[in-house]
Chain A
C-alpha cells in the first residue's frame, strides 16, 4: 500500500492504493471514475486513454504512483472544465461525437475523445490524415472510424464557425475516385 496524491480533473485526491496499481485501477476502483475503460489491460486498445498534462497516456500502463505531480484529465473532466470556462452543454468534442453518430457502443469513445481533444489542442485544424494518425492508438470495433473522423472534423468546423462538410453517407453518389 502506498499513499498517493493525484491531481485529477482539477481536484487533489489523497488515497491509499496497492503499490502495483495502475492509474486505471485507481481511477476506476478507488475513485469510481469509471469513464476510463479497460479493454485489454496491456496497452493494446487505447480504451483507458487519459490525459496527463494534456498528452494522451495509456492509464493501464501507467503506475498510479508515477502520475503524481501531474495534471490528469479523464473523460469525466471534460464537461465540467467546459462549463468552468463559461461554455454550455458538454465539451464540443463530446457534442460532435454525439451528433455525428460516432458513439455506437461507446466503449472505446472516452479514450478516443481524449485523444481527439489532445489533437485539437495542439493542432486546431488537422487534416483527415492527421486525425487518422492521432487516433490510431485507439481501437474502435463498431464504427469503422468514419463517423469518428467526421465528428472531429465537425468539431473543428464548429470552432471555426463554418458549416461542416456533408458526411460520407449524405453526399449524393460521389463521382469515382481519381
Chain B
C-alpha cells in the first residue's frame, strides 16, 4: 500500500510500488538519519540550563526541612539577609499560592507554608553573589519546628489520620481512591477452572537523569519575566508561574534549553522555578539555581511503591475469564500526578490480552517521604509486573507454554477493551513471534541447565492521552512553519525534546512533506514566546500528537507551493512533486527547480509564507467517571524475552540478554526507536536488580547519590537486542505510535519468569536482591527435600 492509500491524498507523493518495502516512497521517514542537533551535542556546543550564564547573575540555594513531618513555628531570616553578598531571602510567606500539575489536587507551595511534609521539603531560598555565600546564608536561617508524628508505612496511612499530612483533604491521609468494576468478576472467578491469587510488591525507584534540575530567571526593566528551566512541560510551568507569582501569563516567557534527560522526573512544576523567578523579581538581577544530586533525589517524583494483590481466573485451556486487583499506592508527601497514577494503575492493564471481566481497587495514600510521580511507564509498570508474573504461574499450573498462553488471550486489533478503551493497530502477536524466534525459545527454554533460564512478558502502553491535564477544547499540539525565500524553513513547536529526539522527528516530517533537504529545516522548540502550545513530553504523546500537527502544517504549506508552481508551469497539480530539495515535473524530467525557487514563486503569488497545524485527540474513552483516563488514540505493544543466570551460592541474578520486540506503528527513524527500546529495557532491568529509592525510619534517603543508588554501568548492562515491529496505526503520523515508555514494562516480570525457568522460584517482591533469592531458594529446597539432587548452580 502506498502512503497515499493509507493516509489519503495529502500523503507524500509517490507511486505505489507493489512488493517494494514500505519505506521506498519516503525520502527520510523510516531511515536511520542522524539527529538535527547531534553534532551540537557531540561538540559540547548545545546549551543546557546550567550552561546559561548571564551578566550580574546571582546564585540561589534552598534550605530544606530536616524533619519528615513538622509544623513550622517561626522562621527568622534576618541574620542570613545581613550576610555580605546576600541579596534576598524568601520563605513560604513570599510564595503562598498553591500549585500542582493536576488542577484538582494542588497541594504544593514553592516553599513550605506552616508545615513540612518530608525531609528535604523546601523551606527558604537565598540569592547571593555565589553559591558559597548562599550556602553560608542558609546556615544562618533560624527555623523553629514542632515535630509531628511521621508516616513511612502506607498501610498505616490507610487507617490512621491523626495527624493528617494535608489538613484540608477530606479523606485524611488518603490521596485518591478508585474502584472500577467491569462485568461479573466474582461470578467468572467462581466459574473458572483455575484461579491464581497472590501478593506482589513493587519498590520505589527514581529517574536519575544525569542532568540535575536547574532554572535561571531574569526580569527585564519593563517587567517581562523569562525563566529557563530543565523541564519537560514548558506549558504547565508557564501556567503555574503565572498563578503562583500573580502575573499575566502574557508577561512571562518560559524556555526549555537542551535537556539532559528527564524520564518523567521533570514533568512537575518544581520549587526552584518559582524561587528563581521570585528572587529575580526582588533583586532585579538574573538568578540561577542548580540542584545538587542529593536535592534531585529528594525532589524525586519517581515510581510509586505499590503493594498489589491479584486474582486471575482462567479456563483449563488458558482463556482468561476474570482479573481482580487490589492495589495500595505509596504516594509520598504530595499529590503530583497521583490522581492519574491511581487510575493508570488499573486502567492500563486491559491489553494486549482480552478479558471479559475486570475489577480494580486502587488507593493512593500520603506518607512523609519524597513525593512520587510519573516515571517512564507511569502507573502501569507496577501492575504489569504483578500481572505478567501471575500469568506465568497460570501457564505453569495449566502446563502451557507461557508464550502460547499469551497468544491464546491476544485481544486482536481494532477492538475494545473491557474498560471501554479503543484499540487500533495491534502488533503484539508479531512481537511475541519475534522474541520467540530471536531467543530460540522453543529449542532452549527449560533446557539450559539449572541456573540458566528464559522468561517472557508482554505489555501495552499509551501513545499520549486523551485527557489534557486541565480541561480545555483547544488542540493538544500546535505547529507553526515559516518559509523563507532562501529555501530555509523554520518549524516552531511547543514540544519538549528531552533527548528522545522530538525536534529531529519534527524536522524529518516537515522535510519529508515539503521535499526539503534536512539541512534546510530549523526547529525552534519549547519557548513560550515563540512557539505554539504543546502540552509537553509526558504520556508518550509527542511523536503521535506533535508529529500529526507537523504533517498538518506542512501539508497546508505544500498545497500552496504545489498550486503556485503548477500555475507557473501551467501543468496539472498532480504533476508537481517536491523531493530532495527540488520541485520536479513528473511528466517532464527536464523541468525541475530548487525548493528555494519554488518558495519564491509561491511567495510572489501568495504573500509571506507560513502555515499552522494542530492535533487534537478524537473523543475516546469509556462512558463512566474516569473513563477518559488511560484513553489513548493508539496503544503500543511490547514483548521481551530475557535470559538470566542465577547463582545459587550467592543469590545473584545476572541478566545476560534481553530481546525486545516493540510495535511502534511505524518507526519514523528506526535508529532512534531502537535507542528508546534499548534505553527502556536497560532501565527496567536496573529497577528489578539494582535500584531502590527508599528512606530509613527517620525519613532520610537511603543513599541519595549516584554511587549508592546503583544505576547500571556499561559493564552491568546486558546485551540488548531491539526488534522493531511495525503495525502502521491508522491515526498515527505515517502510522507511528510511541516507543519511549512501552518497552520498559516487560523487562521486570520477564526477569522473574526467567528466574523461575532457571531455578524454580517465583520472585514476587521487588527488587530481586541476592538476599531474597537465597531465602526463597532455601524455602524451596526445604519443601522439596529429598526429591531433588543437591545440585546447585554456581557462577
Contacts and interface: CB of A to CB of B under 8 A. Distances in A.
Nearest to A96: B42
Given A107-B261, A108-B210, A39 B674 contact: no
B212 A106 contact: no
A94 B39 CA distance: 7
A143 B670 CA distance: 14
Nearest to B706: A44
A67 interface: no
A79 to B, nearest CB: 5
Contacts of B682: 143-145
Contact of A107 (B48, B500, B674, B679): B48
Contacts of B51: 28, 34
B227 to A, nearest CB: 19
A104 interface: yes
Contacts of A143: 675, 678-679, 682
A42 to B, nearest CB: 7
B395 to A, nearest CB: 20
A135 B722 CA distance: 22
A29 B643 CA distance: 47
A29 B681 CA distance: 36
A38 B44 CA distance: 13
Nearest to B440: A176
Contacts of A99: 34, 38
A145 B717 contact: yes
Contacts of A44: 293, 705-707
Interface string A19-61: 0000000001100111111111110110100000000000000
B671 interface: yes
A86 interface: no
Contacts of A137: 713
A139 interface: yes
Contact of B43 (A35, A42, A131, A175): A35
A128 to B, nearest CB: 9
B723 interface: yes
Contacts, number: 217
Interface string B129-141: 0001000000000
A41 B705 CA distance: 10
Interface string B197-231: 00000000001111110000000000000000000
Contacts of B717: 144-146
B136 to A, nearest CB: 13
B714 interface: yes
B216 to A, nearest CB: 13
A161 interface: no
Given A101-B672, A141-B210, A168-B721, A79 B43 contact: yes
Interface stretch (B73-81, B406-414, B431-439, B542-550): B431-439
Contacts of A148: 714
A78 interface: yes
B581 interface: no
A35 B35 contact: no
A3 interface: no
A141 B439 contact: no
A173 B42 contact: no
Contacts of B44: 33-36, 74-76, 110
A103 B35 contact: yes
Nearest to A110: B44
Nearest to A129: B715
Interface in A115-147: 131-133, 135-147
Contacts of A102: 675
A138 B714 contact: yes
Interface in A79-97: 79, 90, 94-95, 97
Interface residues of B, number: 75
A177 B656 contact: yes
A41 B440 contact: no
A90 B42 contact: yes
A105 B706 contact: no
Contact of A146 (B50, B499, B720): B720
A40 B706 contact: yes
A28 B307 CA distance: 45
A42 B261 CA distance: 19
Nearest to A25: B131
A145 B211 CA distance: 17
Nearest to B45: A35
Contacts of A75: 42-44
B258 interface: yes
A63 interface: no
Nearest to A169: B674
Contacts of B29: none
A100 interface: yes
A90 B39 contact: yes
A75 to B, nearest CB: 4
Contacts of A175: 440
Given A44-B706, A98-B39, A142 B671 contact: no
Contacts of B724: 169
Contacts of B714: 131-133, 135-136, 138, 140, 145, 148-149
Nearest to A151: B42
A169 B48 CA distance: 30
Nearest to B130: A18
Given A39-B211, A44-B705, A177-B656, A147 B53 contact: no
B211 A105 contact: yes
A134 B210 CA distance: 19
Given A37-B260, A143-B679, A169-B723, A107 B210 contact: yes
A84 to B, nearest CB: 15
Nearest to B707: A44
A113 interface: yes
A142 B42 contact: no
Contacts of A28: 50-51
A104 B290 CA distance: 22
A44 to B, nearest CB: 4
A76 B53 contact: no
Interface string B694-722: 00000000000111000101110101111
9 contacts: A40-B705, A98-B39, A103-B38, A105-B499, A106-B258, A106-B260, A141-B209, A144-B678, A144-B683
Given A148-B714, A173-B434, 9 more contacts: A39-B706, A44-B705, A75-B44, A98-B39, A105-B211, A105-B262, A107-B499, A143-B682, A176-B440
The 9 A-B residue pairs with the shortest CB-CB distance, nearest first, are A35-B44, A176-B440, A105-B499, A107-B260, A144-B682, A106-B41, A169-B674, A144-B678, A75-B44
Interface of B: 32, 34-35, 37-39, 41-48, 50-51, 53, 132, 207-212, 258-263, 290, 292-293, 434, 437-441, 443-444, 498-501, 643, 656-657, 670-675, 677-683, 705-707, 711, 713-715, 717, 719-724
